[in-house]
Amino acid sequence: MPQTPTDGEGKDVNSHAALASAMPPQEFVALPIFILRQRDGVHVALPALDSTAHFVKFIEDVFSSGYYFADLDYACLEKMLYESSLEERVKLMRDLEKVGREPMLRLASAILPFPPERQLYYGEPLLTEDHAAATYLFRSVPGGELHDDESEDGGDRRNVQGWKMPAPAQLNIDEFVAAMWRHNLRYGIDIALVKRMLRTPENEPVEFAHLLQPVPGRDARAHELVDTLHRSNAPKILPDGRVDLLQFQNRFPHVDKNTRLIKKIPRVAGKLGRDLTGAELVPEPPKDFDLHAMAGLGTRIDNAAEGEILIADIGGFVQVDPKSRIVTISEKIINREGVSLRTTGNLVLPGDHYEEHGVVQEKATVEGKHMTYMADVFGDIVSRGGNVLLKRNLVGGSVRDAGGTIIVEGKASRATLEAPEGEVRLHYAENCRIAAARVHITQAVHCEILAREISIESAEACAIVGQKMQLVHATTRHDIETTISMLVPDLSALTRQLEAARAQQSLCEDVIRSKRADLERITEQPEMKSYMVLNAKVKARAVNMTAEQSQNWDRLQDRVTPQLRRIKNLNEDLQGASSLHADHTRQIQHAEQMLADASGDISCQIAEISGETVIRAINLKPEQGRLETLGARDLRTRFSGAGSDSKVLFHGEEGEFFWCLPKA
């Protein structure tokens, strides 16, 4: 290490005091009004600084004029250069006032000249490839090199403007900062590292300055306030504790009215960075979103004290569009993902309306009310009430609706459709089993159909069982005939019941006539007539009897007492017979209505027959149950063959047909 040169009195000639005393007196720079030179150094008067740009110009003037700051407070310099907006200066002055200090900051001890001779001792920094850091070769400066008295033109190199430059033995941190400024390196110097390297240079490049990376901001985000916005695909736990692996816990989230759903967390701006030149490095602006754009039907936005909140305006099922992120709430469940055992499991829908836009896969079951399917259905649909509408095709699956209407606008193939108390409407059906109260089909091929009322435009190779049929065209398909079975109820038991009720009614009428005749015979006797007239007056207190008359009245009552008992018994018998007669009358009316209902409106009409067609009338026994309870699978086994209880009405390959059951 080279020895630090001293003067004759032993003072360090490299110190700021030595350098200042060696220079002739002069004005270093013109100081602006916000820079104060006081006994303890150079200060920045914050109230007098009206713009950061003025401070930047002052620093630039100092360094570019060949001066530097002695004992520079580098942190203060960077703060005033890059963190001294009006708001920041006001806050700083308030903080200083709180601790009892004047509103000024000490910047340096002095402003000293930076002679060109010493500027030559400081090399140029090198930037890394990404310009994120700067390196500098810290090397020793031998004292001999500094004592070369002669310049190239023969002059004394130590004489500058009439004063003698002392020979330095090591570099100076404050001069280093001034030199780096002249090389446009104006931010991020590690002062402690540079001081150490200047004292003990390692003669190798060292990273001594680093840029300040910008701090990214935080995007605005939607914070969900309830857990029910998310579907739960965990297996459903049944009430008895068992786990149903074919159902999920919460496939369609439901919320009540005024439930707070989503809160907007506002975006947070990032923090500026600085490159080595002091220029701002602006972070990417955080992303924002409009919560109002997410508010779909059934929701509203409330501006609460805590921010914007999306709230359920009605109670219903939550739907979140995966693309637009629009949140809607409706009384209808809308599913766009389809149904399968793998992705959704079997669905048991809690609401009254359901709309499915995806495919219902094979073996998957959906149970609900008022259901609409926009895509093909391969699975099983069970309706607890309401209507079922399929806009596309039903293939290999089934639809069961106890009392509603089943409509398939596409094709039904290899499917089962049942609506015992409802209606089935199909455009095209092939190889289907259909059972309902009413059936309407445009074209049916190889179908088994059971219904009370049937309307078909074209039936090919079908087995049809019903009571009221209208067919436009009946024909064969692949040599398979069309069979039509007209179900005629067996009315013999009902007829016997009606006859028995009428006989009992006649007996009651005979009893009533007999009792009335006996009653009339007794009441027409003269003594009984007198008693009845006088008894009415006595009860009304319209007669005042003498003692003799009262005795005569008592004797009359004794004489008619047996007849009065007889009249009472006759009235009771007459009342019982009339009640039985009314019961039998009601039974007769009920039986007559049943006969009319059973035999009425049973008919078959076919406008055109162009292939082998068989039409039979089959007696429907009471023990066979109600027509609507018969399953579709029983059609051919129970009604395909002719038996003793059947009668062939038509068997041919062409023509037309009309038949109706005579009224009972």
Residue 143: what are its φ and ψ, rounded to 5°?
Answer: -65, -30
pLDDT of residue 425: 97
Please answer whether residues 299 and 311 qualify as being in contact, where contact means their C-beta atoms are separated by less than 8 angstroms. Answer: yes
pLDDT of residue 101: 93
Q: Is the pLDDT of residue 497 over 70?
A: yes
d(CA 286, CA 650): 83
- End-to-end CA distance of the chain: give it in Å, rounded: 135
Residue 97: what are its φ and ψ, rounded to 5°?
Answer: -65, -35
pLDDT, tens digit, 9 for 90 and up, residues 49-64: 999 999 999 999 999 9
pLDDT, tens digit, 9 for 90 and up, residues 266-318: 999 999 999 999 999 999 999 999 999 999 999 999 998 889 999 999 988 88
Residue 529: what are its φ and ψ, rounded to 5°?
Answer: -60, -45
Residue 75: what residue type?
A: A
- Among 429, 434, 385, 381, smallest CA distance to 405 is for 385
pLDDT, tens digit, 9 for 90 and up, residues 438-478: 999 999 999 999 999 999 999 999 999 998 999 999 999 98
98-102, 134-138, 236-240: least confident range: 236-240
402 confidence band (pLDDT: 50, 70, 90): confident
Please answer whether residues 376 and 392 qualify as being in contact, where contact means their C-beta atoms are separated by less than 8 angstroms. Answer: yes
- Percentage of the chain modeled with pLDDT above 70: 83
Please answer whether residues 46 and 93 qualify as being in contact, where contact means their C-beta atoms are separated by less than 8 angstroms. Answer: yes
pLDDT, tens digit, 9 for 90 and up, residues 533-542: 888 888 787 7
The DSSP annotation for 361-396 comes to: -TT-EEEEEEEEESS-B-SEEEEEEEEEEESS-EES
d(CA 611, CA 373): 36
Please answer whether residues 331 and 311 qualify as being in contact, where contact means their C-beta atoms are separated by less than 8 angstroms. Answer: no
Please report, for the chain, the start and end positions of each structural domain, with discontinuous segments joined by +: 16-145+156-210, 221-318, 358-439, 493-598
d(CA 319, CA 317): 7
Task: Name, in order, each residue with C-beta under 8 angstroms of 252's C-beta and a sequence gap of 6 or more.
Answer: 231, 317, 333, 335, 349, 350, 351
d(CA 84, CA 93): 11
Which is more confidently placed, 212 or 595?
212
pLDDT of residue 207: 95
Q: Is the pLDDT of residue 250 over 60?
A: no
CA angle in degrees (0–180, nearest 5) for 187-191-197: 125
Place of tokens 């409009």: 290
pLDDT of residue 220: 93
Q: Residue 225 gets which letter from DSSP?
A: S
The secondary structure element, H or E, covering residue 448 is strand 448-460
159 confidence band (pLDDT: 50, 70, 90): very low
pLDDT of residue 621: 67
- Percentage of the chain modeled with pLDDT above 90: 51
Which is more confidently placed, 604 or 15?
604
Residue 83: what residue type?
A: E
Which is more confidently placed, 554 or 603?
603
Q: Is the pLDDT of residue 164 over 50?
A: no
- Among 444, 345, 344, 470, smallest CA distance to 417 is for 444
Please answer whether residues 373 and 356 qualify as being in contact, where contact means their C-beta atoms are separated by less than 8 angstroms. Answer: yes
Q: At what angle do helices 173-182 and 52-64 cross, to 10 degrees?
A: 100
7 confidence band (pLDDT: 50, 70, 90): very low
- The separation between CA 241 and the C-alpha centre of its own chain, rounded to angstroms, equals 28
pLDDT of residue 155: 47
The pTM score is 0.57
d(CA 564, CA 420): 62
Average pLDDT for 551-572? 84
Please answer whether residues 58 and 35 qualify as being in contact, where contact means their C-beta atoms are separated by less than 8 angstroms. Answer: yes
